[in-house]
Structure formats: C-alpha cells, structure tokens
Structure 1
Amino acid sequence: MHKIRIMYKKEMLARTPPLVDQAFARLRHDVLTGTFAAGAKLKLDELQTAYGFSSSPLREALSRLAQEGLIRADERRGFRVAEISPEDLADITRMRVMLDVPALRESIAHGDDAWEALVVGAYHRLEKVEARLADGPVVLDDDWTQLHAAFHLSLLAACPSERMRGWSASLFDQAERYRRYSARFRKSARRKSNEHRKIMDATLRRDADTACMLLEEHILGTQRNVMTILGAALKELA
C-alpha cells in the first residue's frame, strides 16, 4: 500500500505543471483578459499574495511575459503591463501581416492530410462553441478565445519555420489583448464564422493566393474594427 501511495504521488507530480508554468499561465490569462489594466505596475509582493507563489517562479513568469511583449520590464521600476495605443495596435497588425501571410503560404505548400484534418477540426470546434453563445462580444468568452487562437494557429501549423510559428503565436496574443479591451465597449457581437470558413476553404483547396488575401483582409479588418472602438474608448477615458 505504501508503494502504491508513492507511485500515485509521483504520477500526480508528473501531471502537475511546474510552478513557473502555473504562474505564467495565470498571469498571462489575467493580463490578456484585462484583470491588470494597461500600464499597471506588477508588484512582486502583491502578486505573491494574490497567487500564492514565491518570488522565484513569479519573476521567471514575468520575464517570459516580457519576452512575449505583454508586459514591459524596467530594471529600476520592475514590470508593468504593456500600454494600449492605436500606434501599438498598428505595429502589431503590420507585423502579423508580414509573418502570418507568408507563413500560411508555406503551410499550404508543405501541409499534408493530417494538417488538413487539424485545420478542419479546429474550425469545427470554433464554429460549434460560437453557435452556442448568446448575443454579445464572443471574444470575452474564454472557450471561444482559446478555440479562435487554435484555429488561426492550425492554419500555420505546417509552416516549416518554428520561429515564424512562434512569433505569429506571440503576435496573436498581443492582438488578443486589444480584442479583449475593445470588446468591453461593444454593443453587439461581430461573428467571424463566415470569414474563417472562407479562409479554411481556400486553404484546403490549396489556393494560396486567395487564402493569403483573405487572411490579410481578416487581420486588417480586425484592426479597423478594434481601432474604431479603441479610439472612442480612449476619448471617453481621457
């Protein structure tokens, strides 16, 4: 019985993510969802109290978030949540177009049947959860947000460049913070199933030119919609 208990404890420990990963996941979620306001100072002692982690995993988690561009590091002032501004959103969008569009083209060129199945499955799960949501900003639903990210990343999954995929994922998360922020000021939802479907269909037809054009317009359309709401929201807060 004693051996069984030891084996069970080892198995549970193996399943539990390291403290750094736990701290990173929780902090990342709260930054993306706006629990911490843009520009807010992230004080280590307050984070320890709020999350129950020691300073070491929290410092590592903060450093990783800084590498992703979600927070800013200052050697003298510690860490702050990245500011929100139209200029920053424009820069994120420009970089997404520069990376995601050629990454999709390469993904189409190299993708196999398993990759196609991944794309179809990701779209199906996204469409299903979106159909169940009530009217309102779907971006504020955590399940939808995760499936939305999974769909976009599935499109690029066959791109042979690990760096392009990694940078694209990081930029998607930075854009997600803006989608979340602007969603708080929306009066109605903007459903994107039709746009996603068109991108998927062109991708599966291996029509790279159409798929890349649609993806670029999709990214730029997000910028336009968020920028309109962001501009109005920032005026109200000024």
Structure 2
Amino acid sequence: MHKIASMQKTDAVLREPTLVDQAFARLRQDVLSGTYAGGVKLKVDELQNAYGFSSSPLREALSRLAQEGLIRADERRGFRVAPLSAEDMADITRMRLMLDVPALRDSIQHGDDRWESEVVAAFHRLELVEARLPDGPVILDDHWSDLHRAFHLSLLAACPSERQRRWGESLFDQAERYRRFSGRFRKVAKRKTNEHRRIMDAALRRDADTACALLEEHMRSTQRNVENILKDLPPP
C-alpha cells in the first residue's frame, strides 16, 4: 500500500506543470488575448515583475512562443509580439486551408461513433455559451474562445496525421489573436453558431465535399473581417 501511495504521489508530481510550462501558458494567453499589442517589446525584467517568474523560465517560454510564431526573436533587440497585418493573416489563412481542409476530409473518413459524439458535445457546449451572451465583442471572451477552439479541434480529431493536427492547432491559435483583435472593433459580433452547425451537420452525415467547402468559407470570412478592420485603422 505504501508503495502504491508513493507511486501515485510521484505521478502527481510529474503531472504538475513546470515553471516553464506555467510561464508559457500565461504569456501565451496574454499574447492571444491582446494584452500585449502587436509589435510591443517584451522585456524580461518587466515580465519578471509582472508574473513573478525568474528570467530562465521566461526566456524559455518566450523561445517557445517564437517557435509558434506569436512573437519575434532578435538576438540584438530581444523579443517582440508579432505585428498584426493583413498580409500575415492572409498567410495564416492560406496555410490553414492547406492543412485543415484536407484534415477535415480525412477526419470524416476515419471518424467513428466516439468522434461523432465528441463533435456534437463540443458544439453543444459552444452553443449554450453563445445563447447566454448578448451580441457584441463580449462573445469573444476567454471562455467562448476556449469552447470555439475545442469545437474546431474536435472536427479534425480523427485525422490520422498527428503532425497535421498539431500544426493546424498552432495556426488556429495564431488566427485566434486576429479574431480577438478584430472583435474589439466590431459594433456587433456576428454569431457563428449557424456556420458551425452547418459544418458539423455536413461532417456527421459524411458529406466531406460540403463540410470542407463550408470550413473554407468559414476561414475566409474571418480573414475578410480582419482585413476590413485593419484597413480602417490608422497606421501605427
């Protein structure tokens, strides 16, 4: 019994996030939510005061964020939040179309009953939250964003390529920064529930052509929204 308890305690310790993981998660969330605007310099000493971590985990977290494309690293200038631009959003969308649309087709082909139930459950959770929120930028709060992300990832979860899913997930998060940014400038946030439902329904009836076409338009509409916001803003 003592040995089992010791093993369980050891497993619990191993599962605890490291300081690097904690620093990464907090910094990542603040970059995605727009706490740090595009182009802002991230000074390690200021981050130490803000988050309470030492320089070592912060630098490692910044390097990981740079690998995800959320910040830029320069040996002489340090780290800066990746700037927002229509060109960057177009590139993100182009890459997502190359990865996520084929991934959805593969997911529909390989998905089983469990995959279907998880897609339905993810959509239901998202729909419930949207039903309780008024129209407006608040629809893009942290909770909504988490559920929105979970729904999109559930659609692709049966794609057999782990690398494709992982890269698609990273690109989704890069696009999320633009969604959160554009939401702050829209007077009324267009609800996506109907678009999500149509994608889900097509996927569940195994109509891959329709589901993929709807997903593509869903991504392109986000790009158009962002471009319309960016072109109306004064230059930085």
TM-score (norm 1): 0.92
1:153 maps to amino acid: L
Question: Structure 1 stretches (4+) deviating beyond 3 angstroms?
Answer: 6-16
> Is residue 64 from structure 1 mapped to residue 91 from structure 2 by the alignment?
no
Q: Which residue of 2 aligns with 1:19?
A: 19
Q: Measure, in 2, the Cα distance between the counterparts of 1:140 and 1:114.
A: 29
Q: What do residues 69-126 of structure 1 show as CA deviations (whole Å, max 9, x unaligned)?
A: 0001111211110010110011111111111100000111111111111101110000
Q: Measure, in 1, the Cα distance between the counterparts of 2:231 and 2:149.
A: 25
Q: Measure, in 1, the Cα distance between the counterparts of 2:180 and 2:120.
A: 25
2:45 maps to amino acid: D
Q: Which residue of 2 aligns with 1:3?
A: none
Q: Which residue of 2 aligns with 1:125?
A: 125
Q: Which residue of 1 aligns with 2:3?
A: none
Q: Measure, in 2, the Cα distance between the counterparts of 1:7 and 1:215.
A: 45
Q: Which residue of 2 aligns with 1:114?
A: 114
1:142 Cα shift?
A: 0.6
Identity of aligned residues (%): 75
CA contact (8 A) 1:137 1:190 kept: no
Q: Helix, strand or coil for the counterpart of 1:194?
A: helix
Bigger shift: residues 140-149 or 15-24: 15-24
1:135 Cα shift?
A: 2.2
Q: Which residue of 2 aligns with 1:136?
A: 136
1:225 maps to amino acid: N
What are the within-5 Å matches in structure 2 for residues 72-83 of structure 1? 72-83=72-83
Q: Which residue of 2 aligns with 1:45?
A: 45
Q: Which residue of 2 aligns with 1:228?
A: 228
Q: Which residue of 2 aligns with 1:32?
A: 32
What are the within-5 Å matches in structure 2 for residues 182-201 of structure 1? 182-201=182-201
CA RMSD of aligned residues (A): 1.8
2:93 maps to amino acid: T
Q: Report how many residues are paired.
A: 231
Q: Helix, strand or coil for the counterpart of 2:36?
A: coil
What are the within-5 Å matches in structure 2 for residues 165-204 of structure 1? 165-204=165-204
Structure 2 unpaired stretches of 5+: 1-5
CA contact (8 A) 2:133 2:139 kept: no
Structure 1 unpaired stretches of 5+: 1-5
Q: What do residues 121-149 of structure 1 show as CA deviations (whole Å, max 9, x unaligned)?
A: 11000000111112212453110000000
Q: Measure, in 2, the Cα distance between the counterparts of 1:138 and 1:166.
A: 28
Q: What do residues 133-170 of structure 1 show as CA deviations (whole Å, max 9, x unaligned)?
A: 12212453110000000000111000011111011111
1:215 Cα shift?
A: 0.3
Q: Measure, in 1, the Cα distance between the counterparts of 2:186 and 2:138.
A: 10
